[in-house]
Structure formats: structure tokens, C-alpha cells
Structure 1
Amino acid sequence: MLSHEKVKASNGTEFEFGIYTLGDLAADPHTGRSLSAAQRIKEVLAAAKLADEAGLDVFGVGEHHRLDFAITSPPVLLAAIAQATKRIRLTSATTVLGTADPVRVFEDFATLDLLSEGRAEIIAGRGAYVESFPLFGYELDDYKELFSEKMDLLLELGEHERITWNGELRSSLDDAEIAPRPFQPKMPIWIGVGGTPSSAQTAGKLGVGMALAILGGDPQRFQHLVTAYRDAALEAKFPSKQAKVAITSHGFIAKTSEQAIADYYPYYANYVYEFMGGRERGEKITKQQFELMAGPDTALAVGSPQQIVEKILAQHELFGHNRYMVQFDIGGQPYAKVAEAIELLATDVMPVVRKELGKKQG
């Protein structure tokens, strides 16, 4: 039996576990074969259903507008997932808000919220890739201003059924009806943060959750961002329970550390080469480098269940976060391996972390 009992994070909210995917279409480094976009999406649906059945709390899908990713429309895919699942929360990871219309984003996720009976969330971000700017007719020079203005509007839309609004980069709204209204009284909105203090402070000032991406290296390097976020929320007089932190990372779990390293290395190296600048640098990660990157004091969550437990608990000491989300399916990783990692996260990691956090609270 899985333990679905939740424990409280440092600010009194429940500690949650989740997985997310960006739906990359990298070729399997062993076979050289790539999945079609249709097959990749079927696997994402299967992973979401498995995560729901296993008792995980959150499932997220990302947004990219290029041929080497399968997912361009998170709310459409999440709507399909809503029909195949029962309880898991459904979020974007992330919505590239600068090149989207906030009204359409809100309407789409409000519809998802109705379909899922109150399970929808939005993680809004500026985006690590910029292909959506020319695609949707936006100027890259307006990168920061677009996100700021549209984030303000998105939050207003959640508060009012009718809205009058004026901005610089989007047309004005005059007593406009915003429909449908979501199932939840207030649909959760987070801001996705990479490494900039200004983004963390913005999330705090606005009173929304912060989803902090820590994809590798020493987690302590990111502690100042969580501090900046919480300080900004406190200064803006938002309740501590409203200042939620999610940590997101890459990772993989196998029964032993040796198996996890051996299984994940080819796919992680492939992903870094294709999508994280390796091709531009003309270099691939060696296995020795990878083993160092996945060491016990790093954020890269690769190892046995016990090692992952230790990493999450160590990060909780640093951040006091409320949610942990990990991406398993990168670089052409076969679905069977992803499914095994999901099962281990649910059965061997999640209950132990919750038990240990519960002891501290007791």
C-alpha cells in the first residue's frame, strides 16, 4: 500500500510530490530512433495516468514551439489527461506568458479546471527558449516588459468576472466578461524562476508560488533566491502560507545507484548535447563527468531511492519547500524505464520523505 498521507512543509502547507515533462523528441542514443509526436504524447498520457494511480500529487507539461518537442499546447494535453486521471493536480511547466494572451491562457486553464473539477494550475514563466517571439509576432526587446504586464493582467483575471484594464503592450479591456470562471475559488498561479533574483522577488511581491528550477550543481547556490522570494512576500504582507516554493529538477531512480547511473547517463548526456548547449559547445558529457554531476551534494536527482530521499531532505533543510517535482523522461529515455522510476518515487521515496518530515514536525 502506498502512503498518501501528506505532511506539512515549513510554512504549514502540505508537502507534495510530482513529475513533469517537456516532451522532447530526441533520438534514443542506443537505437538512433525517435518517437513520432503522436507516440510521445501517448507516452505522456500513460505517465500521467500512472502517476495518478501511484498517488503522486502533481503532473506538469511544458511548452515549446519547435519540431524537436511534441508539446506546444499544455492546456489541450492536460485536458486529455484530466479525463484519464482522478485526483492528480495538472499544471503547465511552464506557460510562456510573454508570447501568449493572458485572457486566452486564463480561459483555457479555467476550462481545464472545470473539466478536472478543480485540479488546474498555471506555472507562468518567461521561457528558456525564444522561438515563440517571432512565431507569435512579439519583439524580443520587450521580453521583460511583456511578462510583467501580462502577469499583472493574468492575476486580475482570476479576481474578477468583469474587468477594465489598460496596458502598454496589449489592447485595453473595457468592462470585459471573463468566462468561464474556474471550478476552484482561486486557481493557483506560480511563477517559474531560473536563476535571477528579480524573478524571485516578483513572485514574492505578487503573492504567487515560486517554482524554482535547480537542474544541477550545488543547491546552496539557490538559497538566496528562496530568501529573496520570501522576503518580498513578507514585505508585500502576504501570509506565509501563500508563499509556496516548488523545487523542480532532472532525475532518475533505480533500485541501486549503479543501475541509476548506468541507465540514465546515455539519455542525460544526449539531452544536454541536444537541448542544453552541448552541440553548440561541441562536447558531450563523459560518464565520469556525469558521476560527479550526480554526486551526493548535487541537485541532480539520480540514484537509489535512499539517495533521492537524502537529497530531498537536504534540500528541505535549505529551502523549506512545499513541493518537489522531477523530470525523468529526457533524451529519448524509453517509457518502460520512466514508468519504473515513477513507481519508485511513489513507493520508496515519497512515503519515507513524508515520514521524516513528519518526525520533525512532531
Structure 2
Amino acid sequence: MQFGIFTVGDVTTDPTTGRTPTEGERIKAMVAIAKKAEEVGLDVFATGEHHNPPFVPSSPTTLLGYIAASTEKIVLSTSTTLITTNDPVKIAEDFAMLQHLADGRVDLMLGRGNTGPVYPWFGQDIRQGIPLAIENYALLHRLWREDVVDWQGKFRTPLQGFTSTPRPLDDTPPFVWHGSIRSPEIAEQAAYYGDGFFANHIFWPTDHFQRLIDLYRRRYEHYGHGSADQAIVGLGGQVFMRKNSQDAVREFRPYFDNAPVYGHGPSLEEFTEQTPLTVGSPQEVIDKTLTFRESFGDYQRQLFLMDHAGLPLKTVLEQLDLLGEEVVPVLRRELDGKRPAHVPDAATHASLVAGRKPEVVA
């Protein structure tokens, strides 16, 4: 079982002080958070990709390459790489390069993103979002597995005798997660290739994501990658902790109430009841996170969102101390102890090189 954090890289005013970090401060804070995540024993650091204010991570591989140079163990990933508006050739090259720099500590999560205007900014039509995701990944999948590619598609110029460089480390492409909050077509795509499916269920109720994950598991088995319970599932979550739950609620409330995404909507209490958000003590975080297995079955990766809504860096680092020292050891013990022997761990570069995950080429 892998545990980690993901960031969306928002630049948000702290509602308790009125101070807004600069873009440079926010970028450096993300680096500090990644290094702290490794220090406290987490397995994964993932960054989003955005091309509009108030977000800063427009170049995930640049950020992750910098972090790779100052870390040793933590897996570097994305919490969305835009498969619709990035050229698959550039994704293939960038992540293969990052693989070499990070000695294989790399995977990525593909998604369509949730910012509509990004499509015309990069010359695409949002109405073609699903076909773009399907065609672009079909090409990316081949670019990492075939030394010479001839390609004819709908959305980009043809390729003739093209070789993507560098080649993937050890001739082994990075593991791919397909992230979605609403699209059964993406769950189907993940199942078809035998890739991972990540349900970032931080905003919508559990039953919505149960349907997506159940579909992915059934189709994973249908395509011959293993039994449904062996499918590779990742989940998102949000937490804010203090030793005392009342202190956590009191401190986090102004950040929640003014957050750019869900502020000025449902109350903190309503939101925590209806979504995975947990605001309370470490034990409350443990208790609620353990219910995810009851809802979704055994899964391989749990990522938490912790550095958003204007929370200062000092507070985020304190949250990571609590997560690494008091929460993750218990979750790891409990969830690994309950997982049947035939259900695999999350894929790593070493496990893929060793051939522990069967490869099915489309």
C-alpha cells in the first residue's frame, strides 16, 4: 500500500492573515513539502498541472526533476497530466527523461483536467475531450513500447518512422494511472490497458465513485488482466488534523469557508459528512480512511490533499508530521494486514522490470 500527498499548486490568500504568497514562494513551498513527505516516510508526492492563475504547476516534469535531485526514495508522480492538450510525443519524452534522472521513481496520472478554457489555449476543442484522451493515450502507449512508430490519427499530424528519445529506463515505461471524477470512458480505458484507475473523490459522494471503480474492476477482469479484485485502484482524500478535534475544526474553518473551490457553499460539517474530507484528530482520520476499503475494496494508493486554500507552509509541514508519525503507520498496518495475498501491491519501476505485472500491448 502506498501513501502520499498531492498538490494542486494554488496560490491562495491566507484568510486569517490576508497575506498571499508569491508564485516563487508557492513553488518553493511545494518543493519543501515534497522533501518533508519523504522525511516522514510517505511513498508518493504528486503534482497537478494547471495553465491558469491562481495555480503555478504548469510544468510538472520540471518541478519533479528538481525534487528528484534532492530526494532518494519517494515516488514522483502527477495528480493530472493533461492527456488532451499535451502532445503525446512530448509526454513520452518528458517522462522518460524524468525516469532516468530519478532512477525510475516516476509514474503519472493522466486526465482531461477541469479547466475548460485550457483546450483552445492549446489548439483543441473541449467537445472532443474523450476522443482526444483515447487517441492520445493510444499513441503514448505505443511511443514507449515501440522503437519506431508510424502513426495516423485524427488530432495530430502523422508520424513516420518516429523514435521517441530517450527510451524508457530499462525499456520499461512509467506506470500510468488514469484519473477521472465522472467519465466511465476513462475507467474503461484504464481497464483496457491494464493500467491503474485513480478516483479523486474529494468533492463528490462515495456512491458516485463506487460505480466508476466497480466498472473499472469488472472491465479489468474482462480484458484478462486478472480478477476484479486485483485491479489497481488509487483514491484521493483531504485531511486537516490537530491533536484535539475541536482545535482542528476551529483552525481549519476559515480556510474551508474561503477556499476557491468549495468555499461559500456547504458548511464544513455538511462537506465532511458527504465527502472524504476529515477535519479532526489523527484517530478520526484513521477511522474514516479505513472506511474507504469497505466502500471500494482493497486498493493500492492513497493520496491526501493537504496544502491548499491558503494554508501556510508551517501548518502544512506540521500536518505532514502528524500524517507520517501517527496516521500512516496505522493505516499501512491495518490495510496491508487485511489485503489478500493475491491482490498486488502498487506497481513500482522495480516490480515492472521484474515482470510482476503482466504487460498487454494494445
TM-score (norm 2): 0.88
In the alignment, structure 1 segments of 5+ residues that lack a partner are 1-14, 279-283
Matched, 1:344 2:315: no
Give the equivalent residue in structure 1 for 2:282: 305
User: Per the alignment, in what secondary structure is the counterpart of residue 84 of structure 1?
Assistant: coil
In the alignment, which residue of structure 2 is the partner of 1:149? Answer: 135
Distance apart, 1:145 and its partner CA: 1.5
Give the superposition deviation at 1:257: 1.5
d(CA) in 1 for partners of 2:37, 2:231: 26
2:94 maps to 1:117: no
Distance 1:342 1:30, change over 3 A: same
1:194-231 CA-to-partner distances (Å, cap 9, x unmatched) read 02323222211221101101114542332121110011
Q: Quote the offset at 1:52 in angstroms.
A: 0.8
Contact residue 28 and residue 333 of structure 1 kept, 8 A: yes
Corresponding residue number in structure 1 for 2:306: 328
Q: Distance in 2 between matches of 1:244 and 1:359?
A: 17
The answer to whether the 8 Å contact 1:207/1:242 transfers is no
- Alpha-carbon distance in structure 2 between the residues aligned to 1:190 and 1:167: 23
Partner of 2:294: 317
The residue that corresponds to 2:176 in the other structure is: 189
Aligned counterpart, 1:20: 6
* Equivalent position amino acid for 1:207 in 2: G
1:212 and 2:199 aligned:
yes
* Counterpart Cα distance in 1 of 2:38 and 2:147: 32
The amino acid across from 2:189 in the alignment is T
Q: Contact conserved, 1:205 with 1:232, CA < 8 A, in 2?
A: yes
Q: Separation in 2 of the partners of 1:157 and 1:252?
A: 41
Distance 1:146 1:199 in 2: 11
- Select 1:85's aligned residue among 67, 71, 84: 71
| Equivalence for 1:237 | 224
| 1:82-130, Cα deviation, whole Å (9 max, x unpaired) | 1111100011110111000011011111111111000111101011112
Distance in 2, Cα, partners of 1:154 & 1:79: 20
Return the offset for 1:144.
Answer: 1.8
Q: How does 1:1-362 map to 2 (within 5 A)?
A: 15-183=1-169, 185-216=172-203, 218-240=205-227, 243-271=231-259, 274-276=260-262, 284-285=264-265, 289-295=267-273, 298-319=275-296, 320-361=298-339
CA distance in 2, matches of 1:304, 1:54: 18
Give distance in 2, aligned partners of 1:304 and 1:311.
11
Q: Is the 8 A contact 1:200 1:226 kept in 2?
A: yes
| C-alpha contact 2:4 2:303 (8 A) present in aligned 1 | yes
Distance 2:19 2:311 in 1: 11
Structure 2, unmatched stretches of 5+, are: 341-362
AA in 2 matched with 1:269: D
In the TM superposition, what is the alpha-carbon distance from 1:35 to its structure 2 partner? 0.7
User: What is the identity, as a one-letter code, of the residue corresponding to 2:71?
Assistant: T
> 2 CA distance for matches of 1:361 and 1:321?
9
Asked if structure 2 preserves the Cα contact closer than 8 Å seen for 1:268 and 1:330, the reply is no
Q: Distance in 2 between matches of 1:217 and 1:152?
A: 29
- Do 1:267 and 1:331's aligned partners in 2 also have CA atoms closer than 8 Å? yes
Q: TM-score, normalised by structure 1?
A: 0.88
Q: Does structure 2 conserve the Cα–Cα contact (< 8 Å) formed by 1:251 and 1:300?
A: yes
Task: Work out the number of aligned pairs and report it.
Answer: 337
Give the counterpart letter for 1:91 in structure 2.
S
- 1:289-347 deviations in whole A, cap 9, x for unaligned? 2023224x741132211111111211012212111001111111011111111111111
* Residues 209 and 242, structure 1, Cα contact 8 Å, conserved in 2: no
CA separation in 2, counterparts of 1:314 and 1:206?
A: 29
How far apart are 1:262 and its partner, in Å? 1.7
Aligned-pair Cα RMSD in Å: 1.8
Q: Is the 8 A contact 2:201 2:275 kept in 1?
A: no
Distance change in 2, residues 1:182/1:253 (3 Å): farther
Tell me, in whole angstroms, the C-alpha distance in 1 between the residues paired with 2:184 and 2:312. Answer: 36
Q: SS state of the match for residue 253, structure 2?
A: helix
- The letter of the residue matching 2:243 is K
Distance in structure 2 (CA, Å) of the matches to 1:141 and 1:294? 33
The answer on whether the counterparts of 2:180 and 2:198 sit within 8 Å (CA) in structure 1 is yes
Q: Distance in 1 between matches of 2:212 and 2:14?
A: 35
2:93–2:166 CA contact under 8 A, matched in 1: yes
CA contact (8 A) 2:181 2:209 kept: no
Distance 2:91 2:336 in 1: 37
State the percentage of identical aligned residues.
36
